[in-house]
Structure 1
Amino acid sequence: MTDGEWTLPDDLDAVREALIEWYEADHREFPWRRTDDPYAILVSEVMSQQTQLERVEEAWAAFLDRWPTTADLAAADRADVVGFWTAHSLGYNNRAKYLHEAARQVEEERGGEFPTTPDGLQELMGVGPYTANAVASFAFDAGEAVVDTNVKRVAYRAFDVPDDDGAFEAAANELMPEGRSRVWNNAIMELGGVACTKAPRCDEVGCPWREWCMAYASGDFTAPDVPTQPAFDGSRRQFRGRVIAALREYDELALDALGHRIRVDYAPDGEYGREWLVGLLADLEDDGLVDVEAGPDGERVARLRR
């Protein structure tokens, strides 16, 4: 499946299940992941904007202990809410004001009931598209794909999605299994938060997408929020990525056919010829990404490892 310059794997069901199984087997236990209360989730989302999650945990619990429902928050003195925000170093005080006003809207305009869709949630004060989608996903399992910095980094590295908001949104929604926004959005953000970090930890945490990931194949882990690595053009990292891309397209290729598809100056007996290609493929075999075997006519062929 393609859209412009980027391509998602054909076996999307396998991609999806691999990530969900990885997430459900082990993930960070933030308390807001154990509730579907839209108010508690909204508080966590607003607090998490530009604030480390570890610091949010204590503030989130204290906030809900003091104002456990939208009715409690709506009845509070706004100065007290802003004072709490400041005391816990949660960033811009306007967020506290907006959260207080959103609680008032829920109570006075909606009879204490939260909207359940992203469009409805955006009618609340200070709730933009990202926060509305997150609350719809995590509280009601009714959102679209969440696209934050972590998700962009994952999509850029794994599937060569260009640094374009429209492309990221399209790819994220294509990846997400229908009707599973709660677990999916938690899972893909977890992937970016603990595995596909700025300094990637692919093998250390057992990233479930290694077999499909273009960055893992090429060794180039640049991303929109990660400085470009030097001298990528012409590097082995670049040609490793081209090998994986070619084998995804053609399933298997004889060595010389593969060589001609990954570099214009390939010559079987030249400096960048069969010997160079065999060495490149050996690296990919060692990484568990490619197999090189004898074909029906005895000629060696390369294919992706399944």
Structure 2
Amino acid sequence: MTEQEWSLPPDRRAVRRALVEWYETDHRSFPWRETTDPYEILVSEVMSQQTQLDRVVPAWEAFLERWPTIADLADADRADVVGFWSGHNLGYNNRARYLHEAANQVREDFGGEFPETPNELQELQGVGPYTANAVASFAFDAGDAVVDTNVKRVLFRAFDVPDDDGAFAAAATALMPEGESRVWNNAIMELGGVACGKTPRCNEAECPWREWCHAYESGDFTAPDVPTQPSFEGSRRQMRGRVVAALESNDELALDELGPRVRVDYDPDGEHGREWLAELLGDLADDGLVEVVESDETGEATARLQR
């Protein structure tokens, strides 16, 4: 499908101006929007992955209070960083390990200076294309058009862009004013988060694109399927976090001592018993977070954090 078939408005300057003015007049306040420090922005992007923003704000502030600079994080003990991550229920503790490793890469491979382009940023451990582009955009104003779930929903509804990743990327690129990735990407993501959510609030949020929007004109607000955030309570993410927290407080624990600290219904021979715990520990060991050691004398296995 070509760009012409997407129904992008011919006067793109008016479309761009309307969105940026709407965003700059009033938008949600997040502390990472008030900084251009790439380290602070990277921390916010990594924390925000599948985590609600209202939980991210206090964790982000506490993290930066403890490790204010990329050099401070590089000097930190990795177990302390992982323990912080677990203690703030940020999920997927390997992100904390990757962030710590990225800090060391900045120091050792980039002379302490943050890389600025999306391609260079992807050299950092755990930084994929989306996160690299976000950091390049918000820290250096040097990114491409961001395409997240909110942006896809906006483009699908407003300009009839088909549910295809290539089409979304091309349409987002065609709309973004050259060299203005910081304000533009913030603005279009804000539009999707505030005015064009799953339940649209076109008039209430004074959507700036109503005059061009196909969905607003037709009343058809269908959109691509949006993955839902799995419940944290009782999830594997929560169990992994409990393992790390327990081992943070105890240098080493036998599996049958560790089990009840992870699940109150732990039963060595039951559904959530030794076999279940061993599989969970195996995942954490693969991520470089936990080490399981078997005694030569007793054959009993113990677990401890990797240092």
Same fold (TM over 0.5): yes
Residues 153, 225 of structure 1: 8 Å contact kept: no
What amino acid sits opposite 2:29 in the alignment? E
Runs (4+) off by over 4 Å: none
User: How do 1:113-124 residues align onto structure 2 when only pairs under 5 Å count?
Assistant: 113-124=113-124
For residue 207 of structure 2, give the secondary structure of its aligned residue in structure 1. Answer: coil
1:207 aligns with 2:213: no
- What's the counterpart of residue 85 of structure 1? 85
Is the 1:5–1:162 Cα contact (8 Å) retained in structure 2?
Answer: no
Q: Is the 8 A contact 1:150 1:197 kept in 2?
A: yes
Change (3 A) 1:14 1:4: closer
Pairwise CA distance, 1:107: 0.8
Q: Per-residue displacement from partner, 1:185-242 (whole Å, max 9, x unpaired)?
A: 0000000000000000000010000000000001011111369xxxxxxxxxxxxxxx
Structure 1 CA distance for aligned equivalents of residues 81 and 135 of structure 2:
21
User: Is 1:224 matched with 2:229?
Assistant: no
Give the equivalent residue in structure 2 for 1:181.
181
Q: Which residue pairs with 2:190 in the alignment? A: 190
Work out which structure has the larger RCO, using CA pairs closer than 8 Å and 6 or more positions apart in sequence: 2
Shift of the alpha carbon at 1:106? 0.3
Given the alignment of the two structures, is residue 112 of structure 1 paired with residue 105 of structure 2, yes or no?
A: no
The sequence identity of aligned pairs, in percent, is: 80
Alignment partners' CA distance in 2, 1:209 and 1:26: 15
Q: Distance in 2 between matches of 1:27 and 1:225?
A: 26
TM superposition score normalised by structure 2 = 0.72
1:95-138 Cα shifts (integer Å, max 9, x gaps): 10100000000011111101110000000000000000000000
Decide which structure has the larger Cα Rg and report it: 1
CA distance in 2, matches of 1:88, 1:173: 36
Other-structure match for 2:153: 153
Would you say the 8 A contact 2:102–2:124 is kept in 1?
yes
Instruction: Give the number of aligned pairs.
Output: 227
In structure 1, what is the equivalent of residue 66 of structure 2?
66
Query: Does the residue aligned with 2:79 lie in a helix, a strand or coil?
Result: helix
Distance in 1 (CA, whole Å) between partners of 2:69 and 2:225 is 37
- C-alpha contact (below 8 Å) 1:136/1:143 kept by paired residues: yes
AA of the residue aligned to 1:126: G
Return the offset for 1:54. Answer: 1.2
Structure 2 partner of 1:167? 167
Gaps of 5+ in 2: 228-307
What is the rounded CA distance, in whole Å, between the counterparts of 2:116 and 2:135 in structure 1?
8
Matched, 1:15 2:31: no
Change (3 A) 1:54 1:29: same
The residue that corresponds to 1:127 in the other structure is: 127
Other-structure match for 1:267: none
CA distance in structure 2 between the partners assigned to 1:4 and 1:162 by the alignment = 12
- The amino acid across from 1:207 in the alignment is C
Question: In the alignment, is the contact (CA less than 8 A) between 2:202 and 2:210 conserved in 1?
Answer: yes
The superposition leaves residues 2-35 of structure 1 with CA deviations (integer Å, 9 ceiling, x where unpaired) of: 5274121001000000000000000011000000
Amino acid across the alignment from 1:158 = A
Secondary structure of the residue that 1:222 maps to in structure 2? coil
Q: Which residue identity is paired with 1:30?
A: F
SS of corresponding position for 2:168: helix
Residue 225 of structure 2: SS of its match in structure 1?
Answer: coil
In structure 2, the residue corresponding to 1:142 is in which secondary structure? Answer: coil
Root mean square deviation, CA, Å: 1.4
Q: Deviations over 1:265-304 (max 9, x none)?
A: xxxxxxxxxxxxxxxxxxxxxxxxxxxxxxxxxxxxxxxx
Q: Deviations over 1:141-173 (max 9, x none)?
A: 000000000000000000010110000000000
Give me the whole-angstrom Cα distance separating, in 1, the residues matched to 2:4 and 2:177: 22
Question: What secondary structure is seen at the aligned counterpart in 2 of 1:211?
Answer: coil
Any gaps of 5 or more consecutive residues in structure 1? 228-306
What amino acid does structure 1 have at the position aligned with 2:174? E
Scaled by the length of structure 1, what TM-score is found?
A: 0.73
1:257-272 to structure 2, matched below 5 A, reads: none
Deviation track 1:67-92 (CA, whole Å, cap 9, x = no partner) reads 01111101111111011111111110
Query: Separation in 2 of the partners of 1:198 and 1:225?
Result: 10
The 5 A counterparts of 1:21-60 are 21-60=21-60
